[in-house]
Structure 1
């Protein structure tokens, strides 16, 4: 599979800016990237549209898909189920003129690598510049209580630890949105960049 055809698997902690960067990529190249829409059992947030942000389903419907092998990967996070369905990825990869985007956490990345190695995906990790800045971003959202915020920060540390294992083809530190997008775009295009590496990942103690 040529570099221009490779699915792009983007991962990183909540609040790192994945959705913003993906949105910028789709806005810059309308119709050129198909976002693989995940399934979730959580309730929609304000402004989220079913079938675009997520496929919002009941827990029973989600588990029915699990039992029939409908997911490439799925996980439970903060009491809600999230999954990348086989159908959503195949649909996103079906047009040779459109490139597939997948947004999953580190558990999903591990499973995707095992089940979809034949797709030769580009694995990209989006990192915040520091844990403290990430905490500030999450607090400013105002969507989570203190308990959920602590869980998100703990998961961030786990995500960073996994990124340090060398699991990703590229790491982008989102300390400046425009600079991060420029780096991301160069990586997507298969261009040589001076992108961020494992050594630049923030410490998990601050």
Structure 2
């Protein structure tokens, strides 16, 4: 009935993007898929190769870039990140919605290639709160946390490039907003080619 849609979601580190995306995926397991990115950064504690990211070295990443295998790619915090073109296209072709979790650099590239993609930006209510969340994760040094805060200031300036803005003060409220966006995007008339596929027109 509906075409697969691409949901591009960006947020500074610590804004709660991963938690929100996971909740949406859990609610719609038959309709929604998560695009796993390739990265050259080291796995964090608890991350699994092939589930959180595809962890590869810089040489292999650059080889994939040269082969044109990425829909978008960027260097973030000194590490390479990229989205497989084939994975996204296959999901959408099969009628699945796809969550693409990328930074504004990558989102800008996607915007020029997918006119129908939905762009969502998630932020914490303040930089002070963002800093506290990063510290409480206990996964990085203060040097890296300060770098992420510096980059957060740059990323926030791109919020107008997105269709929706969610301020994650409370996770449950932010999720209700994300869920509402997801539902609304599937009620748009532009995606319905034939009304008879949806309702019975016989009297």
Shorter-chain TM-score tier: 0.7 to 0.9
If the length of structure 1 is used for normalisation, what is the TM-score? Answer: 0.85
Number of the residue aligned with 2:27: 28
The alignment partner of 2:158 has SS state of helix
Deviation at 1:91, TM superposition (A): 3.0
- SS of 2:112's equivalent in the other structure is helix
Residue of structure 2 in register with 1:122 after alignment: 118
State the partner residue of 1:183.
177
- Give the corresponding residue for 2:98: 100
Q: Which residue of structure 1 lines up, in the alignment, with residue 149 of structure 2?
A: 153
Give the structure 1 partner of residue 168 of structure 2: 174
User: Is the contact made by 1:127 and 1:172 (CA closer than 8 Å) also made in structure 2?
Assistant: yes
Report the TM-score when normalising by structure 2.
0.86
Q: RMSD over aligned Cα, in angstroms?
A: 1.6
Tell me the distance in 2 between the aligned counterparts of 1:87 and 1:151.
32
2:197 alignment partner in structure 1? none
Bigger Rg, structure 1 or 2: 2
Alpha-carbon distance, 1:135 to partner: 0.2
Q: Deviations over 1:136-193 (max 9, x none)?
A: 0001111111221111001111111111xx21111010001110000110001117xx
Residue 52 (structure 1) shift? 1.2
CA distance in 1, matches of 2:87, 2:43: 19
Distance in 2 (alpha carbons) for counterparts of 1:77 and 1:145? 17
The 5 Å alignment of 1:7-156 reads: 7-96=6-95, 98-117=96-115, 120-156=116-152
- Report how far residue 46 of structure 1 moved: 1.9
Runs of at least 4 residues of structure 1 off by over 4 A? none
Aligned residues between the structures: 185
